[in-house]
């Protein structure tokens, strides 16, 4: 068979032969014309047509192509003839294309500002993430090994839109840990904390509460380290045992495969949250910190004093930015701490966590975040059987989420459940239908 492939390859025009070699670099199972174009650095549809005619490539599904495993092996061998720098550049273009597309899909699914015109709607964006998740993860592994950390970090964070709504726990955990490693190598403490938070979300839904708490503790330690706070060791929240200092815990570089795919308890997973990880990038209304001592300033000349004042202002602004970023990351983690309490069967403690998070988002001027945490508090109150309070909280959340359709859809479903318990059946049906329709259009599965 090798001779057959070689004969077909040798008969290709130069541009088609180059594309064939580059396709041998892709670790995924299939590809689209858009991905192949990014890999090759130009339009490739006519070249794919040539490869189809020679049967080196087959169209497995409409607009999705693949190389048979034996052909893939031949193409990979042929690719070794490409200069190493050109191979790396081709793969980097492919990873960068994925990063751009995943980010656009993430923003659309979660109702965040982002690149327009890439997808027709949030449902299409979510389905695209679903169809590409295996290929993207395979490329992220290679990109992590190559040290393309900013692309890995950005792509891993953006995959939250898929994993929060469609799950795929083994992929979720591996992607989050790749993102954590890249953020750590970049020295991006805020991104590392957000990635650890995403890992904790998956672990909570898999009922691995001790591991989730450990991830959150490591995330919190990184934040406190960045702002100069304490990072001492403490007792594990689940067992009471003394744990190592989270600041000194190494970043995981590998991940085991999960096969359970289990949902968390009904109280914790009756409605999944879309997450507020994207909000943590906003500094918000931070209070600046870190001033130079007046004693040191008094020893300088007038000219030096002027420069010192400018330096102090710059340092104060930088410290303020760090403080604001830290406050936003803490708010994200407050939600996850609340979800952990809820999954552990402590809805009242969860409600208190969510209320604290809502206040934090209010202080940051983040109405979306406040809406989400207010919804989570109402959900916790409903689990606690405090239905009247839950209804009031969910109504308040609905008012805050007027421009966040995804959060409003989740609110509507839970509010419908609470109204039914309160005997308000007509209102319950109106809200239930609204929530179900929002999720249907967005192609998000919901357990009611």
What's 121's DSSP letter? Answer: S
At 317-336, the pLDDT tens digits run 777 889 999 999 999 999 99
How far from 248 is each of 217, 244, 245, CA to CA, in Å? Answer: 11, 8, 6
SS3 category, 148: coil
C-alpha separations of 316 from 8, 169, 290, 400 in Å: 66, 42, 6, 33
Sorted by where each begins, the domain ranges of the chain are: 1-82, 319-442
E-state strands within 362-409: none
Query: Given the structure tokens 């492919």, which residue do they identify?
Result: 94
How big is the chain, counted in residues? 448
- Grouping H, G, I as helix, E, B as strand and the rest as coil, residue 275 is coil
Backbone φ, ψ for residue 225 (5° rounding): -60, -40
The two most distant CA atoms of the chain are separated, in Å, by 83
Which pLDDT does position 241 carry in this prediction?
Answer: 42
Report the predicted TM-score, pTM, of the whole model to 2 decimal places.
0.82
Quick check: helix, strand or coil at residue 388?
A: helix
Residue 235 confidence (pLDDT): 41
Query: Closest Cα to residue 300, out of 315, 288, 311?
Result: 311
How far is Cα 30 from Cα 426, in angstroms, rounded to an integer?
49
Find the distance separating the first CA and the last CA of the chain, reported in whole Å: 54
* Position with higher pLDDT, 261 vs 419: 419
Q: Are 333 and 193 in contact (CB under 8 A)?
A: yes
Q: Specify the DSSP class assigned to residue 31.
A: B
* Burial environment of residue 388 by CB neighbours within 10 A (0 to 12, 13 to 18, 19 or more): exposed
Q: What is the pLDDT of residues 123-159, one digit of tens each?
A: 999 999 999 999 999 999 999 999 999 999 999 999 9
- Just give the CATH number of 1-82: 1.10.10.10
Q: Which residue has the tokens 């760090």?
A: 322
The pLDDT assigned to 447 comes to 54
CB 341 within 8 A of CB 350: yes
Residue range 319-442 forms a domain whose CATH class is mainly alpha
| Among 170, 169, 142, CA closest to 155 | 142
| 234: pLDDT strictly greater than 60 | no
156-170, 299-313, 330-344, 386-400 — which is least confidently predicted?
A: 299-313
């Amino acid at each position: 068979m090798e001779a057959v492939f070689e004969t077909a390859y040798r008969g290709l025009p130069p541009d088609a032969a180059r594309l064939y070699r580059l396709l041998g670099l892709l670790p995924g199972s299939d590809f689209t014309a858009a991905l192949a174009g990014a890999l090759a650095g130009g339009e490739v549809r006519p070249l794919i047509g040539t490869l189809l005619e020679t049967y080196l490539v087959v169209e497995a599904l409409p607009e999705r192509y693949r190389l048979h495993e034996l052909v893939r092996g031949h193409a990979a061998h042929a690719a070794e003839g490409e200069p190493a720098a050109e191979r790396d550049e081709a793969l980097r273009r492919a990873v960068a294309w994925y990063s751009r597309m995943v980010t656009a899909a993430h923003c659309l699914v979660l109702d965040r500002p982002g690149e327009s015109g890439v997808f027709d709607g949030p449902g299409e964006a979510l389905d695209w993430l679903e169809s590409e998740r295996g290929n993207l993860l395979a490329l992220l592994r290679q990109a992590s090994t190559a040290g393309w950390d900013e692309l890995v970090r950005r792509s891993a964070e953006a995959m939250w839109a898929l994993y929060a709504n469609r799950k795929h726990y083994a992929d979720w955990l591996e992607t989050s840990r790749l993102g954590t490693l890249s953020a750590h190598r970049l020295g991006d403490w805020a991104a590392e904390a957000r990635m650890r938070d995403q890992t904790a979300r998956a672990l909570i839904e898999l009922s691995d509460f001790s591991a989730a708490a450990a991830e959150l503790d490591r995330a919190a330690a990184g934040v406190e380290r960045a702002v100069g706070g304490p990072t001492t060791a403490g007792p594990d929240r689940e067992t009471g045992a003394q744990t190592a200092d989270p600041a000194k815990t190494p970043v995981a570089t590998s991940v085991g495969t999960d096969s359970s795919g289990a949902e968390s308890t009904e109280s914790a997973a009756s409605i999944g949250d879309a997450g507020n990880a994207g909000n943590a990038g906003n500094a918000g209304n931070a209070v600046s910190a870190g001033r130079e001592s007046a004693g040191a300033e008094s020893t300088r000349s007038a000219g030096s004093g002027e420069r010192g004042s400018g330096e102090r202002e710059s340092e104060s602004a930088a410290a303020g930015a760090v403080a604001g970023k830290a406050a936003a990351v803490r708010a994200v983690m407050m939600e996850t701490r609340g979800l952990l309490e809820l999954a552990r069967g402590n809805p009242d403690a969860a409600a208190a966590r969510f209320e604290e998070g809502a206040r934090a988002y209010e202080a940051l001027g983040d109405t979306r975040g406040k809406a989400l945490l207010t919804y989570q508090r109402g959900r916790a109150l409903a689990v606690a059987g405090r239905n009247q309070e839950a209804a009031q909280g969910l109504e308040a959340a609905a008012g805050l989420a007027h421009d966040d359709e995804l959060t409003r859809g989740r609110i509507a479903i839970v509010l419908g459940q609470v109204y039914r318990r309160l005997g308000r059946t007509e209102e319950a049906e109106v809200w239930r239908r609204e929530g179900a329709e929002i999720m249907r259009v967005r192609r998000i599965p919901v357990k009611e």
